[in-house]
Amino acid sequence: MQSLDDIAAQLQGYDPQALSVDGVQAFLRSMVQPLRATETLPLVDALGRVLAQDIVSPLDVPAHDNSAMDGYALDGQALHTGQPLTLQVAGTVLAGRPGVATLGSDQCLKVMTGAVLPAGLDTVVPQELVRAEGGQIHIPAGCVRRGDNRRLRGEDVAQGSVALQGGRVLTPACVGLVASLGLAQVTVVRRLRVAYFSTGDEILSLGDAPREGAVYDSNRYTVRGMLHNMGMDCLDLGVVPDDPQALEKAFRQAAERADAIVTSGGVSVGEADHTKAMMRQLAHSDSPGEGGVAFWRIAMRPGRPMAVGRIGKVPLFGLPGNPVAVMVTFLAFVRPALWRMAGAVEDDPHLQIPLLQARSSEAIRKKAGRTEYQRVRVSVGADGCLYVQTTGQQGSGVLSSMVQANGLMVLEHARGDVAVGDTVEVMMFAGLL
């Protein structure tokens, strides 16, 4: 396992006091490693889990050439003349039933969707395109071509091929694909357990009486919600005051019981509390030679302060205290790191966060040299194009702005001001929050 110093040394231009978003993501890819522990589950219980190994198909799907619709199956060679055809209907084949083995050149079979096509029959004419009378069908010229409306054996999944790559998150479509192979159980990576807590004397738990200068803790609920959406096993350690003994107990308990730790608060530069000191003390004492803890000032808005490190071998993610900054840094950094720990592959389309192109409905001031995440509402304009408008005040403590938004406008590091009509990139919340 590389130390944090070794990882930093491999990053070009690494500066903990002015670290780019790309730099943070590269650092975390090197810092966290996938879990190796696995378990075998019934397929019905595997939804949302990470597949531990490739699934090689034991059979062809479909297992036979079959009809893609209700109609009449024939030898497509008969269509070569380009003339209307009249064929005798020799029988009917239902899905899941054997059909007639041999037909004459002037015969066809009535078939239902999914019916196996006997050898020599390679084309299906939809029933609505023919005229049936007296045990015969009349096929107009040019209504189909040879091979139309036929599903080929193995065209979905071929026997012996990799049907699903290890590291894929099992979505409903993936689970359905596995079921189509006749597999009743799968081997998945053990569920990642994440401990999380908020820090600070000013933080109230729900049920506490209000007091001057104190705020109710929202971060634990947003963090838990995002972890839950990822299918993680959540360990809530509550609110921990700025007390060395309480902090040490919480960090040690988290490191003993979890695979990763997420905290909020206590990582800003110059804060007069014990959280940073305890992070540093435990990371260095419990991780000799493996890296300790790093405190960053990231060139982004919101979410400038962040801490990362290890307590023992357990990764620690120390997020800012402001609610919006917590959510943005989680999406930008913690989410992909946790998925990597959970064994997911980076190119899993389910985990990719596509950035959509949209036009800005307003002018936005932006400083080059930092990445900004603006809360926006995305809508379709009268011209059919996507447009974005900010939700108003963009302070990192304005949690209501995240409720009003359906995405984040991502203004890249080198970009300056945005004019009305300029194209911008948007990260949609659908599937994330």
Confidence at 291, pLDDT banded by 50, 70, 90: low
Find how far residue 414's CA is from the centre of its chain: 27
CA 167 to chain centre: 12
More confident residue, 52 or 120: 52
> In this structure, are strands 314-319 and 260-264 parallel, antiparallel, or unpaired?
parallel
> Is 82's pLDDT higher than 80?
yes
Spell out the residues 6+ positions from residue 154 whose beta carbon is closer than 8 angstroms to its own: 60, 61, 62
Give, in order, the Cα–Cα distances in Å from 138 to each of 73, 141, 415, 423.
Answer: 13, 10, 66, 56
Bridge partners for 305 per DSSP: 297
Instruction: For residues 18-27, give the mean pLDDT.
Output: 95
Domains, in order of start, for the chain:
4-37+190-341 (3.40.980.10), 41-61+168-189 (3.90.105.10), 66-151 (2.170.190.11), 355-428 (2.40.340.10)
Mean pLDDT in residue range 49-57: 98
Under the banding of pLDDT at 50, 70 and 90, the label for residue 14 is: very high
pLDDT band at 38 (very low <50, low <70, confident <90, very high): very high
For the chain, give the mean pLDDT.
Answer: 93
Find the helix packing angle between 244-257 and 275-286, rounded to 10°: 50
Per-residue pLDDT band at 100 (split at 50, 70, 90): low
State how far the Cα of 403 lies from the Cα of 427, in Å rounded to an integer.
15
Q: What is the pLDDT of residue 288?
A: 64
Q: Is the pLDDT of residue 285 over 90?
A: no
In this prediction, residues 53-58 reach a mean pLDDT of 98
Average pLDDT estimate for 384-398: 94
pLDDT in tens, 154-205: 999 999 999 999 999 999 999 999 999 999 999 999 999 999 999 999 999 9
**What is the tens place of the pLDDT at every residue in 203-248?**
999 999 999 999 999 999 999 999 999 999 999 999 999 899 999 9
Structure confidence at residue 162 (pLDDT): 98
- Joined together, the tokens standing for residue 394 give 């963009």
How far apart (Å, rounded) are the C-alpha atoms in residues 221 and 236? 10
Q: Which pLDDT tens digit goes with each residue over 296-346?
A: 999 999 999 999 999 989 999 999 999 999 999 999 999 999 999 999 998
- Strand (E) or helix (H) holding 358: strand 355-360
Over residues 361-383, the pLDDT tens digits come to 999 999 999 999 999 999 999 99
Residue 386 has pLDDT above 60, yes or no: yes
Percent of the chain with pLDDT over 90: 85
Pick from 254-263, 274-283, 390-399: least confident:
274-283
Helix (H, G, I), strand (E, B) or coil at 113: coil
Res. 60 pLDDT band, cuts 50 70 90: very high
Confidence of residue 35 (pLDDT cuts 50, 70, 90): very high
